[in-house]
């Protein structure tokens, strides 16, 4: 493929060292030959903000390893409303469950940032790695189990927890996944609408709860950022003992 065609298809060279595969924890169990197999068959692609990487109902011919930026994974409900399942970041692999089950994609993926880079690995390469490397297979199985656990927890929360509890929990989950800076500012910008979709409420109700948290001195919500002011109290509101290690 010539340079012009690569630009049209949002493809960047696989040898771009800045966005390399070598230091990703997901691939640390691959030996040199297996890593070279990935590199020689993978294609790096760049996506601008709000551009879909794949859509629900499509058929995958490979998996995507996220090299840079944040990707929003979501489903569209029966009434056309978007429900965010999670945000993926560097080192995460997406679209593998539908590939393994030989089913159509059960969710969509969209670039959340303006410089999302993914490495697209063809399905036959991914399946060969699973066949050849037991440790890599176990890592994928653990990932599947963790996502299933998280999904079950979300279903339970929607059924049993109040909105304040759910909001505190989601904020703490985002803090755990994406971290904070020196000023305790959450290192991912999420719109109020996206946050409401994750929690399972309408935007107006979420804004009311966030305003309560601000008035109680738990958060600073200035300049579209979320700054944590009292994490321990958020732990207590979330009413979930596992938050003690966040």
Taking the alpha carbons of 70, 71, 77, 81 in that order, is the dihedral positive or negative?
Answer: positive
Q: What is the pTM of this model?
A: 0.84
Please choose, from the candidates 131, 141, 203, 125, the residue with its C-alpha nearest in 3D space to the C-alpha of residue 167.
Answer: 203
Tokens at 127, concatenated:
């399946």
Q: What element of type H or E holds 158? A: helix 134-160
What residues does each domain of the chain span? 3-156, 162-245
Mean pLDDT of 48-58: 93
pLDDT in tens, 138-182: 999 998 888 888 777 777 776 678 999 999 999 999 999 999 999
> CA-CA distances (angstroms) from residue 143 to 96, 97, 126, 139?
10, 10, 15, 6
State the alpha helices, DSSP H only, in 179-245.
192-199, 203-215, 231-238
Please choose, from the candidates 32, 35, 6, the residue with its C-alpha nearest in 3D space to the C-alpha of residue 21.
Answer: 35
Mean pLDDT across the chain, nearest whole number? Answer: 86
| Local structure of 68: helix, strand or coil | strand
| CATH value of 3-156 in 2.60.120.10, 2.60.120.260, 3.90.1300.10, 1.20.140.10 | 2.60.120.10
Q: 27 with 21: CB under 8 angstroms?
A: yes
Q: 63 with 99: CB under 8 angstroms?
A: yes
pLDDT: is 9 or 149 the higher one?
A: 149
Residue identified by tokens 């551009």 is: 51
Query: Which residues, other chains included, contact 150 with Cβ-Cβ below 8 Å and sequence gap of 6+?
Result: 86
| CATH value of 162-245 in 3.40.605.10, 1.10.10.10, 1.10.3720.10, 3.90.550.10 | 1.10.10.10
């Amino acid at each position: 493929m010539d340079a012009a065609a690569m630009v049209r298809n949002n493809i960047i060279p696989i040898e771009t060292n800045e966005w390399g595969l070598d230091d990703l924890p997901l691939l640390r169990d691959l030996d040199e030959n297996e890593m070279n197999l990935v590199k020689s068959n993978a294609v790096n692609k760049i996506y601008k903000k709000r551009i879909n990487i794949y859509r629900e109902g499509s058929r995958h011919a490979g998996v995507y390893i996220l090299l840079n930026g944040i990707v929003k994974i979501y489903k569209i409900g029966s009434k056309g409303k978007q429900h965010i399942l999670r945000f993926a970041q560097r080192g995460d692999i997406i679209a593998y469950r539908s590939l393994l089950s030989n089913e159509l994609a059960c969710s969509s993926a969209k670039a959340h940032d303006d410089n999302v880079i993914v490495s697209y690995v063809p399905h036959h390469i991914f399946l060969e790695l699973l066949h050849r490397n037991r440790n890599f297979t176990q890592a994928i199985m653990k990932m599947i189990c963790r996502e299933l656990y998280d999904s079950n927890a979300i279903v339970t929360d929607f059924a049993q927890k109040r909105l304040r509890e759910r909001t505190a929990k989601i904020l703490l989950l985002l803090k755990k996944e994406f971290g904070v800076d020196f000023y305790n500012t959450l290192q991912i910008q999420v719109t109020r609408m996206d946050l409401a979709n994750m929690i399972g409420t309408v935007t107006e109700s979420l804004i009311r709860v966030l305003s309560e948290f601000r008035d109680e001195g738990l958060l600073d919500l200035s300049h579209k950022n979320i700054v944590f002011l009292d994490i321990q109290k958020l732990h207590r509101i979330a009413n979930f003992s596992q938050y003690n290690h966040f």
